[in-house]
Amino acid sequence: MASHRRPKQPSRTRRVSVLTATAAAAVALTTQAAQAEPKASEKEVKEKVDKLYEDAEAATEKFNGAKEKQSKLNKEVGNLQDSVARGQDDLNDMRNGLGSMATAQYRTGGVDPSVQLFLSSDPDSYLDKASTLDQLSTKQAEALKKIQSKQRNLAQQRKEAADKLDDLADTRKELGEKKKKIQGKLSDARSLLNSLTADERAKLAAEQARADRAASSRADLGGDASASQRAGAAFSAAKTKIGSPYVWGATGPSSFDCSGLTSWAYNQAGVSLPRTSQAQANAGTRIGKGQLAPGDLVLFYNDLHHIGLYAGNGQILHAPKPGANVRFESINNMPFMFGVRIG
């Protein structure tokens, strides 16, 4: 006969032992994980931060492009809405004019023409009136055609304005997404920097400050002349901003991003450049590294997300990245694509 006795429960002492062993194993695993992922060195943190800053700059140029598109769309929508309003006023005037003609025709043509001729004491006068009536009808027909044409134009302009308003809404959404991406990259960079000790952060800041000072005070620019008076004026203007901080989306006069500096500098020389580095790449004649002269634009990276001004002797003047100031730097520190000469 089978036994139905309940199995013996583990004692309290045994349960405590099991829990203690499990906790010890968890501590061991945590210790191993900590040993497997050692704290990043100061050099590794700096490399990661620099990469995040580079990514943020690339996103900034896309943000700048979307912002410029938004500004253009705002202007186009405003112009279309003004045009539609003016067109509606013209249409109302045309309709009022047509109504006046119809009223005049009714008053002069209310009696059958043959009866009017029979009753007229002055047939010649009646014929003159009849001729005027025909002309009035012709004018009415022309007025109707103009009104129909105006209505079609207004409908087309209203549709165009509605489409641009949709584009504007999409662009605003895009701006928000790009801004969020930039802020995310900069936030990640700050988090990495905060993982360092206070002494390590101070050391990195001191190194950056020394790099800014050295790049600005020791740059040997040679004696090359600018290719044009405008390029020379733009370069001279940019030099007055040495030491100004890099701020994403900034166009001066106290802070800049990379394309903000170049567009500001050329604006001082009387030349209006597009807002982004990618657009500025098509603002003039492309040239090779050996053809560069002071004031020429210099494009870097495959996606052309960074731009500066050639300074001479293999140096550029640019707004480098977040955390750095406007300064001179070797053209070889970044992947050179081509130069652009502004006519």
Question: Active-site positions?
Answer: 258, 306, 318
Compute CA distances 44 → 4, 39, 40, 195, 211, whole Å: 66, 10, 6, 12, 19
For residues 315 and 235, what is the distance between their CA atoms, to the nearest angstrom?
A: 12
Q: Which residue has the tokens 């008076």?
A: 229
State the amino acid at position 124 in one-letter form.
D
State the amino acid at position 323 in one-letter form.
G
Q: Residue 230 has which token pair?
A: 């405008």
**Secondary structure class of 329 (helix, strand, coil):** strand
Backbone angles phi, psi at 293, to 5 degrees: -135, 155
Tell whether the torsion through CA atoms of 268, 273, 276 and 282 is positive or negative. Answer: negative
Q: Are 320 and 329 in contact (CB under 8 A)?
A: yes
DSSP string, 77-91: HHHHHHHHHHHHHHH
Tell whether the torsion through CA atoms of 114, 115, 118 and 122 is positive or negative. Answer: negative
Sheet with 297-300: list strands edge to edge: 285-287, 336-341, 297-300, 306-312, 315-318, 327-330
